[in-house]
């Protein structure tokens, strides 16, 4: 298996090379050169397998020669050993034909742990073999940052810099990033939005002098390995509800488009997903794009689901690449237009997108009302991101089982939960003293040169 850039003008790489490279050198994102459907009998055999066994089955063909079968199995087993639930990603029923896929039983209480715990192990194995050290820079709207810090804290050969938008993450999310004491961890509060943070990160990748000097690596969903790890739970969830013999639908709270893109890959691998529904908060650019055919940036408005306060959804480029028949030059043109404010999608490409995705959005009031009504009718306390998904899913329910991804633990957003339904959402025991731990953070300007200077100064040579 080789990996190609969505902009068609970068070297083709192996899985390990693509993982360590991050952003392609033409500014694009790496994707597999082919995603072939799996055999039906193999998919039928998934129920009854452990999460780790399904993960191995999903990932093995994508990993190729980069890791031996034994190495990959051991890496997967280590990655999920610390999860608090034996099923790793349990399903709970919310109502007739509506299920929640709980993705918050990892160490930092969000779905990011599924991929980050895995790539932490993959990076360590690859770096040990190569005898290399790297500098990870990540952009976060709240959850990627803490998951990355948890996966890489204390490692001798990795420095981690996490850029989060100052004042635009929840207090629990911020403290998860600012309280680790390891000297290889650096929390940076940028004066701007998540989009600014992600744009500066991509600028760093496009500054080849800096990139090569610090050996820059990325753990955002820029990194294909992140997306791959997230494909697994679509299979475990669907197969526990009877797939592939009966179809299922998914609704995915969406921001950077990584999680739903993983669902799109699962469908390409042969999972019968009837509807794949994009659920956005009031920052509804993806929903508007599907409706209008134009991807037009507007200002990010802070919401009670802050991790989805995004206008430039990085992984949308990956699906556009397919929508344009894998024409990298066409994608590169559209991304140039995006830098100037937006682009209009061709008729063929928008038909492709509408054929693969449905969409909807939830206002702030609808998000709060959903948290409240789910609590009152089921006793479940859900986080605001999950509530966005549940609200949008309710507009797409039918005869096919609907699975909404519960992307974070409610304890990460206690203020919104309290406002919605009046209950406290306590942190689990391993985080119970989070508010007593001292914070360590540097406020930084939204300026490439200043950020690069700080990283050069702080990283260990």
Ligand X SMILES: Cc1ncc(COP(=O)(O)O)c(C=O)c1O
Ligand Y SMILES: N[C@@H](CCOP(=O)(O)O)C(=O)O
Report, as residue numbers or ranges, the catalytic residues: 112
Q: Which x/- pattern, by CB under 6 A, does the window 138-157 give for ligand X?
A: ---xxx--------------
Counting contacts by CB under 6 A, is residue 307 touching ligand X?
Answer: yes
Given a contact cutoff of 8 angstroms between Cβ atoms, the answer to whether 277 and 249 are in contact is yes
Tell me the C-alpha distance between 251 and 365, whole Å.
Answer: 20
Question: Min. distance of Cβ 58 from ligand X in angstroms?
Answer: 17
Q: Rule CB under 6 A: say whether 15 interacts with ligand X.
A: no
Structure tokens, 322: 């397919």
Site map for ligand X, 235-254, x if CB under 6 A? ------------------xx
Helix axes 347-356, 285-292, angle to 10 degrees: 120
Closest CB 103 distance from ligand X, rounded Å = 9
Number of residues that bind ligand X (CB under 6 A): 16
Q: Could you tell me if residue 154 is left (phi over 0), alpha (psi between -120 and 50 degrees) or otherwise beta?
A: left
Geometric angle at alpha carbon 234, from 431 and 297, rounded to 5° = 80
Minimum distance of ligand X from residue 169's CB (angstroms): 10
Indicate the helix (H) or strand (E) that contains 391.
Answer: helix 384-394
**CB 461 to ligand X: min, Å:** 32
Tell me the residue length of the chain. Answer: 461
Q: Give whichever of 109 and 136 is closer to ligand X, judged by the CB atom.
A: 109
Nearest residue (CB) to ligand X, 142 versus 180:
142
User: Does residue 255 belong to the site contacting ligand X (CB under 6 A)?
Assistant: yes
Do 51 and 80 contact (CB within 8 A), yes or no? yes
Minimum distance between the CB of residue 1 and ligand X, rounded to whole angstroms? 23
Among 16, 102, 113, 143, binds ligand Y (CB under 6 A): 143
Identify which of residues 281 and 307 has a Cβ nearer to ligand Y in the complex: 307
Stretch that binds ligand Y, among 7-15, 66-74, 254-262, 322-330 (CB under 6 A): 254-262
140 binds, among ligand X, ligand Y, none (CB under 5 to 8 A by kind): ligand Y
- Assess 144 for contact with ligand Y (CB under 6 A): yes
Minimum distance, C-beta of residue 112 to ligand Y, in the bound complex (Å): 6
In the complex with ligand Y, the residue whose CB is nearer, 145 or 270, is 145
Query: In what order do the strands lie in the sheet containing 91-95?
Result: 91-95, 98-102, 402-406, 248-253, 273-280, 358-361
Half-sphere exposure of 313 (CA within 13 A, CB side): 29
Q: How far is the CB of 389 from ligand Y (least distance, A)?
A: 13
For residue 46 the two structure tokens come to 């998934």
Q: Restricting to residues 73-112, which ones interact with ligand X according to CB under 6 A?
A: 110
Calpha distance 244→226 (Å, rounded): 24
Using CB distances below 5 to 8 A depending on partner kind, what does residue 314 bind out of ligand X, ligand Y, none?
ligand Y
The answer to whether 220 contacts ligand Y (rule: CB under 6 A) is yes
Q: Contact 133/438 with Cβ under 8 angstroms? A: no
Residue 218 is a binding residue for ligand X (CB under 6 A):
no
x/- mask, ligand X, residues 154-183, rule CB under 6 A, reads ------------------------------
What three-state secondary structure class fits 87?
Answer: coil
Give the CB-side neighbour count of residue 387, counting CA atoms within 13 A: 33
Tokens linked to 197: 């943070």
Q: What is the DSSP letter of 394?
A: H
Q: Is 193 in the site for ligand Y (CB under 6 A)?
A: no
408 binds, among ligand X, ligand Y, none (CB under 5 to 8 A by kind): ligand X
How far is the CA of 171 from the CAs of 163, 164, 179, 233, 445, in angstroms?
A: 15, 12, 12, 28, 21
- Locate the DSSP E strands across 240-337: 248-253, 273-280, 294-296
- Is 140 a binder of ligand Y (CB under 6 A)? yes
Residue 253 binding partner per list ligand Y, ligand X, none, with a CB distance cut-off of 5 to 8 Å that depends on partner kind: ligand X
Kind of pairing between the strands at 185-190 and 158-165: parallel
Residue 22 within binding range of ligand Y, rule CB under 6 A:
no
Q: Where are the alpha helices (DSSP H) in 328-363?
A: 328-339, 347-356
The residue behind tokens 């790539």 is 119
217 binds ligand X (CB under 6 A): no
Choice from 174, 385, 396, 459 touching ligand X (CB under 6 A): 385
- Residues that contact ligand Y, how many (by CB under 6 A): 13
Does position 407 interact with ligand X (CB under 6 A)? The reply is yes
- Binding stretches for ligand Y (CB under 6 A): 140-145, 220-221, 255-256, 258, 307, 314
């Amino acid at each position: 298996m080789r990996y190609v850039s969505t902009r068609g003008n970068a070297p083709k790489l192996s899985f390990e090379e693509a993982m360590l490279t991050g952003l392609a050198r033409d500014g694009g994102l790496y994707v597999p050169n082919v995603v072939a459907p799996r055999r039906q009998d193999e998919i039928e055999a998934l129920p009854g397998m452990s999460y780790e066994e399904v993960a191995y089955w999903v990932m093995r063909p994508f990993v190729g020669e980069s890791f031996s079968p034994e190495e990959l199995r051991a890496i997967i087993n280590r990655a999920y050993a610390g999860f608090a639930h034996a099923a790793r990603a349990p399903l709970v029923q919310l109502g007739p034909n509506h299920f929640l896929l709980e993705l918050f039983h990892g160490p930092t209480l969000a779905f990011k742990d599924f991929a980050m715990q895995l790539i932490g192990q993959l990076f360590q194995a690859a770096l040990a073999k190569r005898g290399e050290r790297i500098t990870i820079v990540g952009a976060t709207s709240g959850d990627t940052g803490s998951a990355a810090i948890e996966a890489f804290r204390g490692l001798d050969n990795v420095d981690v810099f996490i850029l989060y938008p100052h004042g635009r993450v929840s207090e629990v999310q911020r403290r998860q990033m600012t309280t680790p004491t390891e000297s290889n961890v650096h929390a940076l509060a940028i004066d701007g939005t998540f989009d600014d943070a992600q744009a500066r990160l991509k600028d760093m990748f496009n500054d080849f002098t800096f990139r090569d000097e610090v050996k820059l690596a990325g753990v955002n969903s820029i990194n294909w390995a992140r997306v791959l790890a997230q494909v697994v739970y679509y299979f475990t969830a669907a197969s526990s509800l009877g797939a592939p013999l009966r179809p299922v639908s998914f609704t995915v709270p969406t921001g950077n488009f990584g999680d739903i893109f993983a669902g799109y890959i699962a469908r390409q691998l042969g999972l019968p997903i009837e509807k794949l529904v994009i659920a956005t908060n009031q920052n509804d650019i993806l929903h508007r794009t599907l409706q209008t055919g134009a991807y037009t940036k507007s200002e990010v408005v802070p919401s009670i689901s802050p991790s989805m306060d995004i206008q430039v959804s990085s992984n949308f480029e990956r699906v556009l690449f397919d929508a344009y028949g894998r024409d990298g030059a066409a994608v590169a043109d559209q991304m140039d237009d995006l830098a100037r404010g937006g682009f209009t999608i061709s008729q063929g490409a928008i038909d492709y997108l509408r054929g693969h995705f449905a969409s909807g959005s939830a206002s702030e009031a609808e998000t709060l009302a959903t948290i409240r009504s789910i609590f009152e009718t089921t006793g479940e306390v859900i986080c605001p991101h999950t509530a966005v998904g549940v609200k949008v899913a309710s507009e797409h329910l039918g005869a096919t089982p609907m699975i909404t991804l519960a992307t974070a633990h409610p304890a990460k957003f206690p203020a919104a939960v309290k406002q919605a339904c009046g209950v406290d959402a306590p942190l689990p025991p391993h985080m119970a003293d989070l508010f007593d731990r001292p914070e360590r953070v540097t406020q930084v300007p939204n300026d490439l040169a200043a950020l690069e200077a700080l990283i050069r100064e702080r990283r260990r040579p």
